Amino acid sequence: MNILILGSGGREHTFAWKLAQSKKLSKLFVAPGNAGTDNIATNVPIGVNDFQEIKKLVLKENIQLVVVGPEDPLVNGIHDFFLADAEIKNIAVIGPEKLAATLEGSKEFAKEFMMRHQIPTAQYKSFTSETVEEGFKFLEQLNPPYVLKADGLAAGKGVVILNDLDDAKNELKSMLVDKKFGSASATVVIEEFLDGIELSVFVLTDGDSYKVLPTAKDYKRIGEGDTGLNTGGMGAISPVPFASKAFMDKIEQRIVKPTVEGLKMDNMPYKGFIFIGLIKVGDDPKVIEYNVRMGDPETEVVLPRIQNDLVDLLQAVADQKLAEIELQLDERTATTVMTVSGGYPGSYEKGKEITGIESIKDSLVFHAGTTLKEGKVVTNGGRVMAITSFGSDFKTALSKSYENVEKISFEGMNYRKDLGFDL
């Protein structure tokens, strides 16, 4: 089978690495890909939202399955685009249709879905520029910290948490009236602050049955001790040590099942990955958000722990036969450490030569923001490369990741040295 992966990050390199292990794979394409995917697949310089060019590629290369990495094309309706076109409607697309992708595309939509299906989440109210004054009153009734969320996609920056009431009111005004995040903050969700430790659960569904994939915890802040600005993710650990069997049973019964059943009930076709961001409040899981894709860098620790042939799993999703498959997992812990460009998540330079990759033997190297320039691997983004290792526990795995990170070098390279500090 010929397969196309859409995207260019560490997540997509990990998908490519895993798919490349399947005997069922003939040709693998990645659009646009990075220097890592270039080693194991054919990179094609097409953007993930260029649906017409993607269609041409699919027809030209006889691609039978498309794995959509990031949320953007899903929220823009790539799955619906395929279904609506007679020439490509039978090509399997892994990723939900547009309606279900709104679970990530609109926080308000996701909140309403959770309310409708009694899925535990923070209490909330949403506001628009017409109801700013009511928003102020609502904030006055809450206890700090105040959680304000731009409704739409805001490149991971749309959530603001503030301790001071006046700051929260100013932020609400700036989002709604001054359009701080453009149309993404035309509606703002204000919600109850949940105090606890975060984890993510990944689910693969064919719209009928589902598999709960390994849990993971990522480290979003740039600074040690979870300080400083938010990033796309500085590293991840799987499984999450505090996700006991009893806690996972609660997650499955209270959250995963009602989510998959809710999608069915609401006629929201979903074939793909669901990424559920959770907070453990006391002993109870509550949903912070849904993402309609895999996480990055969570994929870099979740996929390596799945022992099944990934082509089999994805084919079963496409054929709605996931129930027939038994998930096989590596019980060991996987950790990944993300190396980033100096200055990230603020401004940073690109094009720095990366050396030392070939000296890493006992960890997996997943490229994120890299490209080839005159035969050399150079930096091409904020998050540059993730180093994944296995161990009997997260400390053992992490020490191997760190040992190997030290072998990599590029000007300005930065990474967090304290992953797992909170576990």
Residues that bind ligand GLY (CB under 6 A): 218, 232-233, 291, 295-296, 298
The total of other beta-carbon atoms located within 10 Å of residue 213's CB is 24
Q: Does 194 bind ligand AMP (CB under 6 A)?
A: yes
Q: In what order do the strands lie in the sheet with 383-391?
A: 217-218, 235-238, 333-340, 383-391, 364-367
Q: How far is the CB of 375 from ligand GLY (least distance, A)?
A: 31
Q: How far is the CB of 411 from ligand AMP (least distance, A)?
A: 30
Cα separation, 285 vs 277, whole angstroms: 10
Task: Answer positive or negative: Cα dihedral of 206, 209, 212, 213.
Answer: negative
Cβ–Cβ < 8 Å for 8, 34? yes
194 binds, among ligand AMP, ligand GLY, none (CB under 5 to 8 A by kind): ligand AMP
Cβ–Cβ < 8 Å for 21, 57? no
Q: How far is the CB of 7 from ligand GLY (least distance, A)?
A: 11
From the list 110-118, 162-170, 187-195, 345-353, the region that binds ligand AMP by CB under 6 A is 187-195
Q: How far is the CB of 70 from ligand GLY (least distance, A)?
A: 9
Q: How far is the CB of 378 from ligand AMP (least distance, A)?
A: 30
Q: How far is the CB of 279 from ligand AMP (least distance, A)?
A: 6
Q: Which long-range contacts (CB under 8 A, 24 or more apart) does 353-358 make?
A: 353/377, 353/378, 353/410, 353/411, 354/378, 354/379, 354/384, 354/385, 354/408, 354/409, 354/410, 355/408, 355/409, 355/410, 356/407, 356/408, 356/409, 357/385, 357/408
Q: Does 198 bind ligand AMP (CB under 6 A)?
A: yes
296 binds, among ligand AMP, ligand GLY, none (CB under 5 to 8 A by kind): ligand GLY
> What are the φ/ψ torsions at residue 164 (nearest 5 degrees)?
-100, 135
Among 151, 191, 296, 300, binds ligand AMP (CB under 6 A): 191
291 binds, among ligand AMP, ligand GLY, none (CB under 5 to 8 A by kind): ligand GLY
Among 2, 193, 321, 407, binds ligand AMP (CB under 6 A): 193
Nearest to 65 by CA among 304, 308, 271, 323: 271
Helix segments in 132-276, DSSP class H: 132-141, 165-176, 245-251, 257-265
Cα separation, 274 vs 105, whole angstroms: 13
Q: Of 289 and 418, which CB lies nearer to ligand AMP in the complex structure?
A: 289
Q: Of 22 and 238, which CB lies nearer to ligand GLY in the complex structure?
A: 238
Cα separation, 114 vs 124, whole angstroms: 11
38 binds, among ligand GLY, ligand AMP, none (CB under 5 to 8 A by kind): none
The total of other beta-carbon atoms located within 10 Å of residue 272's CB is 27
Among 159, 186, 212, 327, binds ligand AMP (CB under 6 A): 159
Q: Does 216 bind ligand AMP (CB under 6 A)?
A: no
Q: How far is the CB of 221 from ligand GLY (least distance, A)?
A: 12
Q: How far is the CB of 159 from ligand AMP (least distance, A)?
A: 4
Q: Does 292 bind ligand AMP (CB under 6 A)?
A: no
Q: Does 312 bind ligand AMP (CB under 6 A)?
A: no
9 binds, among ligand AMP, ligand GLY, none (CB under 5 to 8 A by kind): none
Give every CB contact of residue 361 below 8 A, 6+ residues apart in sequence.
Answer: none
Question: What token pair was written down for 184?
Answer: 């993404």
Interface residues with ligand AMP (CB under 6 A) are: 122, 147, 159, 191-194, 198, 220, 277, 288-289
